[in-house]
Amino acid sequence: MVQDEQWATDLAAIEEQALQALAKISDESDLQAWRTLHLGRSSAVMQTFTRLGQAPKEQRPALGQAANRVKQALESALALREQALGQAELERSLSSERLDVTLPGRQPHLGRLHIATQTLREIYRVFAEMGFQVYRSREVETDAFNFELLNIPAYHPARDMWDTFHTTTPGVVLRTHTSPGQIHAMREFAPEPVRVILPGMCYRYEQSSVRHEIQFNQVEVLAVGRGITFGDLKGTLQEFARRLFGQNVRTRLRPSYFPFTEPSAEMDVECFVCGGAGCQICKGSGWLEILGCGMVHPLVLQNGGYDPAVYSGFAAGMGPERMTILRYRIEDIRNFWGNDVRFLEQF
Amino acid sequence: MKIPLSWLKDYIDVNLPLPHLAHELTMCGLEVDEVELVGLPAPQDDGHGFKFTGITWQRDKFVVAEVREVMPHPNADRLVLCRLFDGTEELVVLTGAPNLYPYKDRGALAQPLKVAYAREGAQLYDGHQPGQVLTTLKRTKIRGVESFSMVCSEKELGISEEHEGVIILDPDAPTGMPLVDYMGDAVFEISILPNMIRNACVVGVARELAAQLDMPLKKSAPKLAWDGPSIEGQVYLQISDPELNPRFVLGLLRGVTPGASPYWVQRRLRLAGMRPISNVVDATNYAMLALGEPLHAFDYDVLVKRAGGKPPTIITRTAKPGEKLTTLDDVERDLNDHTILVCDGAGALSLAGVMGGLESEVTPETRNVLLEGASWNFINIRRTSGEQRLLSEASYRFSRGIHPALAQEGVELCLGYMAAWSGGEIAAGLVDAYPNPPPDAEVELSAAEVRRGLGIQLTADEMATLLRRLEFTCTVQGESVFVKTPPHRLDIGSGLTGKADLLEELARLYGYDNIPATRLGDELPPQRGNPLQEKEELLRDMLVRLGLQETVTYRLTSPEREARLLAVADAPYVRLANPIAAERTVMRRSLLASTLEVIEKNNRLRERLAIFEIGPVFLPQPDTELPVEQQRLTIALTGLRLPQAWDQRPQGALDFYDMKGILEALFTGLHVERVGYQPLEHPVFHPGKCAAVQVGEQPAGVLGELHPQVKARYDFGNHPVLAAELDLGVILGAVPFRYDAVAVPAYPPALEDLAVIVPEETTAQQVAEVIRQGGGKLLVDLQLFDIYRGAQIGAGKKSLAYKLTYQAQDHTLKEDEVRQARNRIIRRLEQALGASLRA
Ligand SMILES: [Zn+2]
């Protein structure tokens, strides 16, 4: 029994000594040394197992159990210590990898559509949902398509409304509006009903300035059918304005004149900058003029191949750049085709 | 057109708030751009918007006063002191107005001078500063005399720019009355539509407003006495071309005394934008502004003298070859053979409908006035006015069509004013030739047509009631109205056009606001979309995804600008007959030239530029009048591949392979297949760094690095400039409508590397083709990852290293299969290209 107690005392001392040594360890290599010293083949605990054979037979199970308990205790203490040390090491290394998150990131090159394209697409989208398809036609036109077939005879005062670039080929002009496309579209589609929008570049003989350009996009809208009324014109264009400028925007139609439509009108939307109170953008009027429109003139219908006694239609024309200018408060229309990247990259 | 409110009120008793009135005018088609207050108080905002400018005369600060005596200033010759009564007290007011000097030292004036008097604290325009600068009258001392108020000039009151003297009001102006009550006004600035020239006058505007508001239009014309001896035998008339001159009317006023018009006339003319000249001339201008008919006054005695003392004969005819005329503006004008003139037996008197001649104009010495009112062919006047570059109040109106009925009305109205303001007696009767009255068409319009066109239900009676407000003569028969146009407008046609014209009148009268908005209920056309345009947008999206910036440039350029790129000067161009700038004279033939100008403009602003444009070029054709408009795509790159950043040095300039990579990615994205690249000699590009692009068998364009000599003609940076110009039609034509997806393989691929040594001239494309042939179906991918040249493999050779991916869809590849494929590839490479494996 005395011998028993001696073994037990020895094991307790071995455990205590090893745990004390473990608590002092703070790095990985010391931990390995400790493992060799206290759990290796020649360690005190393991030696206890070796010497187990020398103990009296009836004492061996108790002794074995006791040694095993100490061995397990040391092993789990080691595991805990290892984990703690690993955690501490991770924290040390993470804290040394702290970035200045305010430094700029690496940006991929962002491609962009020209702002004119963006506006055109918005217009296409709204009209597409109402069944209007894009129809394009040529930019160098005959006088006949640009004027005469649109009820604008030579020398007519209405020609003053368009300052025209003529080419050196007599009777050939740069189109002053996309309206010639009305005739092209009608002649292509007659006698089917027509719902098209006609986008494209137009030209005016005009000194370019902050407000005027020699080249500009226009989008024309044309609907021809058997029962199209002025009320339809009003409704369709109102829907368009609401989609583009906001569901609550007020619009008004004001009598106007175009040779190829009658009755003719201009559509104003309530100024979205001042809400109608009057500001610099709307020049104090509270309204922004966004498009001209009207019922297709019977002679134009006829020139397009439709019998005005059976068919009617409406047309509208708008300037996407003007709309863009109003929307983004762009000060100089020459920015559009000037292509300064400092302008282009804003959109 | 400037319409003073006070004048408008001669014809209509309208008392609406100003913004409301402006709104009503705008909704008639008389768009009000601006309202200028000239005395009247600024209106409350009533939700109608409109821009208001101008000045308000405070009621208690501006009054009508009378100057009872003009006295010299003790210390200054150029100043006078006025003893003035402002309705409540007598004061002494200092002024420097030269038009008061003549009254100096006359003692108390028998008839006091009525003036516009501003008290201390009045807000008015500073007469001594250019433009309109508001200032407040303060008490000061001028040359030792205290001054705290003033007698006003037109400039100070915002009536005109006139500041030479003070206003002397008409003698009946009531002393002490607030000035705003006496002559406070507002001027409507109205844009006159081309088909509404009938409304370029006060009566016209009043008539539209009366119709709009359903109010009566008042008559306002002086009574004519016709008390002089008859005009008969005093002047003869001869019209040689009734097409060009449908009517000519003459009236005669004897014994006028030229002088200043009454102040109210002068004020109205000024507010309407005209300068008062004398009572005789003012009467013609005033009548024109009132009624819209331009009138011309001749000095009758000059005509008699030219006729050798006999009654003159007025002849209207076109100009003779070489004929000249000196017009009122003192310019001698060469006349064209279609220019219509007013002449007498001695020659041309005036440029008909445009401007009078210098010789026969009225002067302060004129005693007898022959007054002309006429009607001219508007197209002819438009041509003449354009050719002579002469815009006048007369040509503005006549070139848009004035009804001949107004010739007579105008002459009568003007005679009345002239007699009232300059004295004289009106010769009884007029000389009137009216050989060519306008057609008096009747237009039938049915209720059904109105419903079909406007979407509103009106009975024939309701239509007639509306149209009568604009003085149309209407007869109702069943469901239709038969409509005749009133004799002051030429804008209503006949037949189909007439119906459309009347629909517009009905829409205006019914009110655009009142027509209900509806959604299209008509049959939807076949929905074909626009596949080509949709593909073009897809292409744009793809290029943007590749990091490129879209640009849109001017289509107008000059051959010189394009020659920098193309170095061909004599290519056929679509040329402008009337260019507006030397640098924009033709439509471009090259889209790339435009794109390179964008690079040139921006290359100092960014270290890397990557842009594209889609747009047409214009190629004249020998056998047609119109050019071919071909859609092109250009891409341009220059600068650093990776610009400098805080953690990285700038790296490598963009080169040929960056451009090629963009095209490859673009074609992959668009599913365009069978794209080939062949070396190409092209004058624009570096001979060794240029390739032709082919899609299938079709040439699709070119890419490359700009030739150094071409580059030198631009202001580019140091880096190479890469460019591609492609035919959009070919590319979009190759974009498939649909394509098949490929199944994601269920079995693992086998990967291996292969390095082959080939002669330097062998192209990568040749090697790749052979590998593909050898690999057959199993070889699904092939990536070139290295090129080596050097001592290890010997001169004139290169080694190309590939990563090969083998894959079968239905099983895991066996080692044997891969080995066989590999051996096939190697064998083919050896046979076809003389290649060897690199150990
Ligand atoms: Zn505004």
B244 touches B318 (CB < 8 A):
yes
ipTM for the complex shown = 0.89
- pLDDT for B144 beyond 80: no
Tell me how close the Cα of A113 comes to any Cα of chain B, in angstroms: 5
Distance B283 CA to ligand 1 centre (A): 41
Confidence of residue A273 (pLDDT cuts 50, 70, 90): confident
Cβ–Cβ below 8 Å for A339 and B400 = no
Confidence of residue A286 (pLDDT cuts 50, 70, 90): confident
Backbone angles phi, psi at B710, to 5 degrees: -70, -45
Confidence of residue B569 (pLDDT cuts 50, 70, 90): low
Interface of B with A in 539-578 (CB under 8 A): 540, 543-556, 574-578
What is the tens place of the pLDDT at every residue in B631-661? 999 999 999 998 888 888 878 999 999 999 9
Token look-up 């490129």 returns: B548
For position A201, what pLDDT does the model report? 97
Task: Give the C-alpha separation, A333 to A338, whole Å.
Answer: 9
- pLDDT for A3 beyond 60: no
- pLDDT for B142 beyond 80: no
Across the beta sheet with B90-95, the strand order is B90-95, B80-85, B62-72, B108-118, B150-151
Cβ–Cβ below 8 Å for A276 and B52 = no
Confidence of residue A284 (pLDDT cuts 50, 70, 90): confident
Strand partners, B296: B372
Kind and range of the H or E run holding A65:
helix A60-96
B808 touches B744 (CB < 8 A):
no
Select from B286, B291, B293 the least CA-distant residue to B271.
B286
Distance A268 CA to ligand 1 centre (A): 12
Interface test with A, best of B28, B205, B505, B520 (most A CBs within 10 A): B520
- Side-chain half-sphere CA neighbours of A298 within 13 A: 19
For position B820, what pLDDT does the model report? 93
Chain centre to alpha carbon of residue B488: 29
Cβ–Cβ below 8 Å for A276 and B527 = no
How many other β-carbons are positioned within 10 Å of the β-carbon of residue B622? 5
Chain B positions touching A189 (Cβ under 8 A) are 525
Provide the residue ranges of all domains of chain A, joining segments of one domain with +: 2-96, 115-344
If you ran DSSP here, which 8-state letter would residue B176 be given? Answer: T
Chain B residue with the nearest C-alpha to that of A103: B646
B411 touches B374 (CB < 8 A):
no
Task: Say which residue, B694 or A52, is predicted with more confidence.
Answer: B694
What is the tens place of the pLDDT at every residue in B294-328? 999 999 999 999 999 999 999 999 999 999 999 88
Q: Is the dihedral of CA A178, A180, A186, A188 positive or negative?
A: negative
For position A61, what pLDDT does the model report? 84
For position A2, what pLDDT does the model report? 44
Q: Which two tokens stand for residue B503?
A: 């629909």
What is the tens place of the pLDDT at every residue in B407-426? 999 999 999 999 999 999 99
The whole-chain average pLDDT of chain A stands at: 91
Chain B positions touching A234 (Cβ under 8 A) are 512, 515-518
Cβ–Cβ pairs < 8 A, chains A and B: 268
Cross-chain CB nearest to B544 (options A111, A206, A339): A111
Interface of B with A in 179-198 (CB under 8 A): 193-196
Distance A234 CA to ligand 1 centre (A): 23
B724 touches B701 (CB < 8 A):
yes
Chain B positions touching A300 (Cβ under 8 A) are none
Interface of B with A in 478-507 (CB under 8 A): 496-497, 499-501, 503-504, 507
Task: Give the C-alpha separation, B724 to B760, whole Å.
Answer: 26
Chain B residue with the nearest C-alpha to that of A277: B49
Angle at B318 between CA B314 and CA B324, to 5 degrees: 90
Chain B positions touching A138 (Cβ under 8 A) are 626, 629
Sequence-separated (6 or more) residues with CB below 8 Å from residue A276: A250, A270, A286, A287, B47, B49
For residues A183-194, average pLDDT: 96
Cβ–Cβ below 8 Å for B576 and A138 = no
Select from B488, B428, B31 the least CA-distant residue to B254.
B428
Quick one: residue A46, left, alpha or beta (phi over 0 = left, psi -120 to 50 = alpha)? alpha
Interface of B with A in 604-623 (CB under 8 A): 605-606, 608-610, 616, 618
- pLDDT for B215 beyond 60: yes
Distance B334 CA to ligand 1 centre (A): 49
Q: Which two tokens stand for residue B41?
A: 């108080």
Interface of B with A in 663-702 (CB under 8 A): none
Sequence-separated (6 or more) residues with CB below 8 Å from residue A69: none
Select from B374, B372, B369, B373 the least CA-distant residue to B419.
B369
Select from A346, A137, A122 the least CA-distant residue to A245.
A122
Cross-chain CB nearest to B512 (options A135, A194, A254): A254
The whole-chain average pLDDT of chain B stands at: 94
Strand B368-375 relative to strand B247-254, pairing: antiparallel
Tell me how close the Cα of B22 comes to any Cα of chain A, in angstroms: 11
Confidence of residue B145 (pLDDT cuts 50, 70, 90): confident
Cβ–Cβ below 8 Å for A229 and B454 = yes
Sequence-separated (6 or more) residues with CB below 8 Å from residue B574: A140, A167, A169, A172, B586, B587, B618, B620, B627
Share of chain B above pLDDT 70, in %: 100
DSSP characters over B417-482: HHHHHH--EEBSS-EEE---PPP--EEEEEHHHHHHHHS----HHHHHHHHHTTT-EEEEETTEEE
Token look-up 């001027």 returns: B187
Chain B positions touching A113 (Cβ under 8 A) are 540, 544, 550
Cβ–Cβ below 8 Å for B518 and A235 = yes
Cβ–Cβ below 8 Å for A139 and B194 = no
Backbone angles phi, psi at B51, to 5 degrees: -95, 125
For residues B128-146, average pLDDT: 85
What is the tens place of the pLDDT at every residue in B201-213? 999 999 999 999 9
For position A107, what pLDDT does the model report? 86
Cross-chain CB nearest to B51 (options A110, A201, A285): A285
Share of chain A above pLDDT 70, in %: 99
Select from A22, A135, A141 the least CA-distant residue to A83.
A22
Kind and range of the H or E run holding B657:
helix B656-670
Chain A residue with the nearest C-alpha to that of B625: A169
A102 reaches B (C-beta below 8 A): no
Interface test with A, best of B491, B552, B585 (most A CBs within 10 A): B552
Distance B552 CA to ligand 1 centre (A): 29
Cα–Cα separations (whole angstroms), residue B598 to A341, B601, B611, B724: 9, 5, 9, 14
Task: Give the C-alpha separation, B36 to B40, whole Å.
Answer: 9
Chain B residue with the nearest C-alpha to that of A279: B51
Distance A270 CA to ligand 1 centre (A): 8
Confidence of residue A1 (pLDDT cuts 50, 70, 90): very low
Cβ–Cβ below 8 Å for A203 and B546 = no
For residues B780-804, average pLDDT: 92
CATH dotted code for A115-344 = 3.30.930.10
A260 touches A179 (CB < 8 A):
yes
Cβ < 5 A residues, ion ligand 1: A 271, 273-274, 279, 281-282
What is the tens place of the pLDDT at every residue in A32-46? 889 888 888 888 888
What is the tens place of the pLDDT at every residue in B539-567? 999 999 999 999 999 999 999 999 999 86
What is the tens place of the pLDDT at every residue in B91-124? 999 998 999 999 988 889 999 999 999 999 999 9
Chain A positions touching B451 (Cβ under 8 A) are 229
Residue B262, classified by CB atoms within 10 Å of its CB into exposed (0-12), middle (13-18) or buried (19+), is middle
Tell me how close the Cα of B50 comes to any Cα of chain A, in angstroms: 4
Token look-up 């700029």 returns: A104
For B698-717, letters b (16+ CB in 10 Å) and e give: eebbbbbbbbeebbeebebb
Cross-chain CB nearest to A226 (options B453, B522, B580): B522
Give whichever of A65-79, B127-141, B276-290 has the largest mean pLDDT: B276-290
Tell me how close the Cα of B198 comes to any Cα of chain A, in angstroms: 14
Model confidence, pTM: 0.88
Interface of B with A in 300-339 (CB under 8 A): none
Task: Say which residue, B406 or A63, is predicted with more confidence.
Answer: B406
- pLDDT for A96 beyond 50: yes
B818 touches B805 (CB < 8 A):
no
Strand B123-125 relative to strand A215-225, pairing: unpaired
Share of chain B above pLDDT 90, in %: 86
Chain A residue with the nearest C-alpha to that of B379: A155
Cβ–Cβ below 8 Å for A117 and B525 = no
Interface test with B, best of A252, A262, A280, A295 (most B CBs within 10 A): A262
A341 reaches B (C-beta below 8 A): yes
Cross-chain CB nearest to B525 (options A192, A227, A263): A192
For position A4, what pLDDT does the model report? 58
Interface of A with B in 223-262 (CB under 8 A): 223, 225-232, 234-236, 238-239, 252-257, 262
For residues A232-246, average pLDDT: 94
Chain B residue with the nearest C-alpha to that of A190: B525
Task: Give the C-alpha separation, A198 to B583, whole Å.
Answer: 29
B518 reaches A (C-beta below 8 A): yes
Cα–Cα separations (whole angstroms), residue A259 to A151, A161, A215, A294, B317: 6, 10, 22, 10, 32
